[in-house]
Amino acid sequence: MQSQRQDVPTVDGDRQAKVATPLPDVRSAMPERMIPSARHSVVHYKSLFRRVSNRILHLLCRLLPGATTLRPFLHRLRGMQIGNNVWIGDDVYLENEFPELVEIQDDAVVGLRSIIIAHTRGTGRIVISKNVYIGAGCVIVTSANRTLVIGEGSVIMASSLVTGNVAPYTLYGSDASKPLARITKPFTATASYEEFMMTLRPL
């Protein structure tokens, strides 16, 4: 596709040709860590059999009993590094695709329905150190080429989102939920979101 030329007036009244210039390379202005590259693709190749067996074992871990016995054992079969006396709650999601990238050290607790993901557009690594307590419903996720470490003895409050390192012996979490407004019209199936928001009143 050819560039179009357009004559535009200058300050002194003469006319000169304005030539369309190409767009700048956006990638050149991006930080190096943000530029997509081959290293951000999947590097841990597995056979189809291994991937399927990992998922079956993972599903069994989420459904079967045995927080300190059967579940840790099945996760070890998947390739996960799990220490002694680890407690894994009901329906915990522990890295479905790359279990070998998660390490849970001795005496750690992972509360029910927590989610731990060690890959985002590439593989990273997650280490849950000794005596860590992770409350129910937490989400712990890292990105490509990063190691996320939850330090020894730390406590992660329920429903917390963790995307970076947590120092040892730290209580980590957000403030508890609090009242925000008074409801004058219930948010029923027949009420729209806009109608509901318009009926809220300050406390």
**Distance of CA 85 to CAs 2, 71, 91, 131, 157, Å?**
69, 12, 19, 10, 21
- Is the pLDDT assigned to residue 125 strictly greater than 60? yes
What tokens does 145 get? 């080429």
pTM score: 0.71
Determine the pLDDT at residue 37.
37
Average pLDDT estimate for 161-185? 91
| Residues 83/68, Cβ–Cβ less than 8 Å | no
Instruction: Find the distance separating the first CA and the last CA of the chain, reported in whole Å.
Output: 61
| CATH architecture of the domain covering 48-172 | 3 Solenoid (2.160)
How far, in Å, CA of 158 to CA of 156, rounded? 7
**All residues at 6 or more sequence positions from 102 whose CB lies less than 8 Å from its CB, including other chains:** 80, 81, 94, 95, 116, 118, 125, 126, 128
Determine the pLDDT at residue 19.
44
pLDDT 10s digits, 10-24: 444 444 444 444 444
| Residues 62/93, Cβ–Cβ less than 8 Å | yes
